[in-house]
Amino acid sequence: MNNKNLFILPAAVAALAAGALFTSPASFAAKHAKPAAQSKAAAPAAPAGPAGQTAVATGAPALAAKAWLLMDFDSGEVLASANPDEPLPLASLTKMMTSYMVEQALRSGKMKPTDLVTVSQNAWCRGSSTESCMYLPLNSQATVIDILRGIIIQSGNDASKAIAEHMGGGSEQGFAKLMNAEAKRLGMTHTNFVNATGLPDPAHKASARDLAILARAIIRDSADYYPIYAEREFKYNNIKQGNRNALLYTDPTVDGLKTGHTEEAGYCLVTSSKRNGMRLITVMLNTSSANARADQTRTLLGWGFGNFEKATPIQPNTAVANVKVNFGKADTVAAGLGSPWTVTVPRGQQVTTAVQPKADLEAPVAKGAVVGKVVASSNGKPVAEAPLVAQADVERAGFLLRGWQHVRGVFGK
């Protein structure tokens, strides 16, 4: 400290202290980088692929689908895609939103699994071979949980229409409005629902990215009901039907989600698979056959799990940085991660981290409070972030100490 600062009058200190109650020091910022324990030389950037295709690792497969996408479940990052934002007919993939809305109504208590749903003339399926049916009898009632299984496993149009009328104020159109509101909330920006089934309509479309966002929401938000998506068959009204997702029968790591097919949409499939602690979501739109959608998905999953891995940028219970605290009894607080953190990156790529503390953080600070964030990057691209939390309490300083801290800030100390 310069000697001239020693001769500031107490009155001046008091005046400055009063000012400190209403002002704050300049913004504080810092960065911290730490390589992952398993870091190796960075992989080269991915070459340009087919038109509309992007990937964050080399050698993404060329797939026979109008649009496709591979997403990491944990971070929501798109690992590879082709035409991910083109709105396309989606057939019965629509029912993912129908089932999601049922699941969230059950989760919130707005409906109970044992609530009864009436099958109207409009919802009733007449047994046509041109559409998927749960085969609910006309004017009968079924429980919500049976309806949910009929939507997910049997892809029942009748089940979808019946629950849509039940939840949509008596009309499927009313339910479609609720579907679109939920899509907007989830961030599905290239989607428009007209009905609860996916039956053809020129205005009824969604993008591959949006469907991956929806699949991720189902897995994340519907833990109590997500196991239904892996069930291979369901019997109702003495009619047993099998799940049309062929991968459920051939790949034990696959546990969902939904198939779809109309002439306009082609053969579609949204799938989730978990291997060695890493979950990937795939979307396949407009393939040529049921076998093609399964084969293309197998190829994409194989490439994804073969080319990406989980990395731990920072070990848990590790102090990452000392974050500056204004007007506290301590000038800084040790900060770290509040919970274990992993990211998905191309195999062998280096992972670095950068700490971004909150600017102008003031005491009091409670242990566990968010005081910034840590951003993980791979090959120069941000791939994930995690909250930075205080590892101790910092009490607010008394009046005189706050005043002295303000004086020290004014004079550059």
Q: pLDDT of 336-353, one tens digit each?
A: 998 888 888 898 888 999
Query: Residue 284 is encoded by which pair of tokens?
Result: 């396949």
Whether 228 has a pLDDT exceeding 90, the answer reads: yes
For residues 342 and 399, is the Cβ–Cβ distance under 8 A? Answer: no
Largest CA distance in the chain: 95
User: From residue 340, how far is each of 313, 382, 392, 399 by CA, in Å?
Assistant: 10, 18, 18, 39
Q: 406: Cβ–Cβ under 8 A, 6 or more apart, which residues?
A: 16, 17, 19, 20, 23, 25
Superfamily for 53-307?
Answer: DD-peptidase/beta-lactamase superfamily (3.40.710.10)
Listed in sequence order, the residues at least 6 apart from 142 whose beta carbon sits closer than 8 Å to its beta carbon are 116, 117, 119, 136, 150, 159, 162, 236
Query: DSSP assignment of 194-210, as one string?
Result: S-SS----TT-BB-HHH
Task: Tell me the three state secondary structure of residue 299.
Answer: helix
Q: Which residues are catalytic?
A: 92, 95, 155
Give the pair of three-digit tokens for residue 207: 């993008």
Kindly calculate the radius of gyration of the chain based on its CA atoms and give it in whole angstroms: 28
Residue 254 token pair: 């696959």
Q: Grade residue 128 by pLDDT with cuts at 50, 70 and 90.
A: low
* Cβ-defined contacts of 46-51 (< 8 Å, 24+): 49/82, 50/82
Beta strands in 29-84 (DSSP E): 53-55, 67-72, 78-82
Whether 412 has a pLDDT exceeding 60, the answer reads no
Residue 36 has pLDDT above 50, yes or no: no
CB 204 within 8 A of CB 234: no
* pLDDT reading at 411 higher than 80: no
**Half-sphere exposure of residue 153, counting CA atoms within 13 Å on the CB side?**
23
Average pLDDT over residues 79-103: 97
- The SS3 of residue 68 is strand
Among the residue ranges 239-253, 341-355, 398-412, the one predicted with the least confidence is 398-412
Q: Reply yes or no on whether the pLDDT at 406 is more than 50.
A: yes
Using DSSP's 3-state secondary structure scheme, residue 256 falls into strand
Q: What is the pLDDT of residue 126?
A: 80
From CA 403, how far away is CA 13, in angstroms rounded?
Answer: 6
Q: Which two tokens stand for residue 355?
A: 């700490």
Please list, in sequence order, all residues whose beta carbon lies within 8 angstroms of the beta carbon of residue 360, skipping any fewer than 6 positions away: 24, 25, 27, 28, 326
Whether the Cβ atoms of residue 257 and residue 229 lie closer than 8 Å to each other: yes
Nearest-5° Cα angle at 341, 35 to 348: 40
Name the DSSP class of 252: T
Report the alpha-carbon distance of residue 152 to residue 276 in Å, rounded.
26
* Residues of each domain in the chain carrying CATH 2.60.410.10: 3-37+313-410
Q: Spell out the residues 6+ positions from residue 225 whose beta carbon is closer than 8 angstroms to its own.
A: 99, 103, 106, 148
pLDDT at 8: 34
Task: Place 42 in a pLDDT band, splitting at 50, 70 and 90.
Answer: very low
- What pLDDT does 53 receive? 53
- The pTM assigned to this predicted structure is 0.79
CATH 3.40.710.10 residue spans of the chain: 53-307
Q: In the predicted model, is pLDDT for residue 11 greater than 50? A: no
Fold of 3-37+313-410: Peptidoglycan synthesis regulatory factor (PBP3), Domain 2 (2.60.410)
Closest CA to 218 of 271, 178, 172: 271
Continuous H helices in 272-352? 290-307
For CA atoms 84, 89, 92, 95, the dihedral sign is positive
